[in-house]
A and B are shown apart, each in its own frame.
Chain A
Amino acid sequence: MSVPHRKIGVYALKTGHGVPIGPDQMKIRESIGLESQPPTTQKYKEQLEEFQTICKETGFDELIDFDWGTMNLKEAEAKK
């Protein structure tokens, strides 16, 4: 896997989403009458833990060389 693809994996392991939400998007959601943060894995820790458990079980974390301590790619890869 290329580093950019693995970095999408990092977002997923941190939030449950390959494309997570940020403060600007939350404001837009609110301005059009939607809940500011969708009720997904990024909002609920226990739900995210289910997602992370699956990724540990299948070895996806190892596939992308994910470091659970830093919640990023292992140091050498993260610098690329």
Chain B
Amino acid sequence: MSEETKEYAFFPGCITPNRYPGIEAATKKIFNVFGIETKEMEGASCCPAPGVFGSFDMYTWLPIAARNLAIAEEMGLEIYVTCNGCYGSLQEADHLLKENPKLKEKVNVILSKAGREYKGTTEVHHAIVLLRDVIGLDRLKEKVTKPMKDVNVAIHYGCHFLKPSEVRGHGSSETPYYLEDIVKATGAKEVLYKDKLMCCGAGGGVRTADTPTALEWARQKLVSMIEAGADCVIHPCAFCHLQLDRGQYEMNEAFGTSFDLPVLHAMQFTALAMGFSEKELALDQQTTKMPEKLLK
């Protein structure tokens, strides 16, 4: 990753722009403060989702991902994403195609029918990685105008941010530090809870095909977070956001529970600490409500 790069192509995916645009707004606002310019990827599609596409048909998943990569290549830019599923699909497709010339040739035959070519000239980054490693924690701390003092945060990573660790390059998937460092930089405190590194329950196509199982999985995590004293949960993934935010309403309807643990993408949490408002980040539009403690 080049520290000189100041422009990135934003890959929107589906859930960030189409269900939780506050994640997109938070990310663009933060990057704008630090001089990182976002360029839109005109014509981008679904990444496509690793669960519903990748699990069933690798040879559809791969050329669709390669087409998205080719759009950024045509722009001459590296990509950033705000969703673990997009990170998983795009970075892993890029890795497979860069490592395997025969596969690249096969995919390019398919892409040629759509008038595209994958060359292997871009890189895929998660916005959280740009925040911590390119902007840097010292610069971030300088812009924290509303420190999250006395806020106890449960960190949820989801699956694809850390794994496969060899491709991601973010250290051991058992001892992560990206979100922990960002929580500290905002002045908040992490609370440890049981099964921190467990899936949210939605991935792998489970939420689509078996919602009760997916919700039970999430319920277990939420109970552990609440028992540990969390005021909110932060994460790096739009799909986890949907599962944990909308999922609390669905759980309350299905199980008669009364969950209301605030859910924030780490970019929204950071943007709040930098002084952006609940309304600017569309946090007032989601299922779980933000308590005064997070907004003061």
CA distance A74 to B287 in the complex (A): 35
Cβ of A37 to closest chain B Cβ, rounded Å: 9
Segment of B49-57, B142-150, B183-191 in the binding face? B49-57
**B67 proximal to A (CB < 8 A):** yes
Residues of chain B within 8 A of A22, CB atoms compared: 18
- Verify B45–A17 contact, CB threshold 8 A: yes
CA distance A37 to B257 in the complex (A): 35
CA distance A20 to B280 in the complex (A): 23
**A76 proximal to B (CB < 8 A):** no
**Cβ contact of B282, chosen from A5, A19, A28, A38, cutoff 8 A:** A28
- Verify B282–A32 contact, CB threshold 8 A: yes
Number of interface residues, chain A, beta carbon within 8 A: 38
- Verify B114–A38 contact, CB threshold 8 A: no
**Cβ contact of B209, chosen from A4, A34, A57, cutoff 8 A:** A4
The digit string for B32-49, where 1 denotes a CB below 8 A from any CB of A, is 000000001111111011
- Given A25-B21, A39-B40, answer yes or no on A8-B49 (Cβ-Cβ < 8 Å): yes
- Verify B111–A21 contact, CB threshold 8 A: no
Which of A2, A18, A60 is packed against the most chain B CB atoms within 10 Å?
A18
Return the chain A residue nearest B42 by Cβ.
Answer: A39
Which of B21, B24, B25 is packed against the most chain A CB atoms within 10 Å?
B21
Residues of chain A within 8 A of B25, CB atoms compared: 32-34
Cβ of B208 to closest chain A Cβ, rounded Å: 5
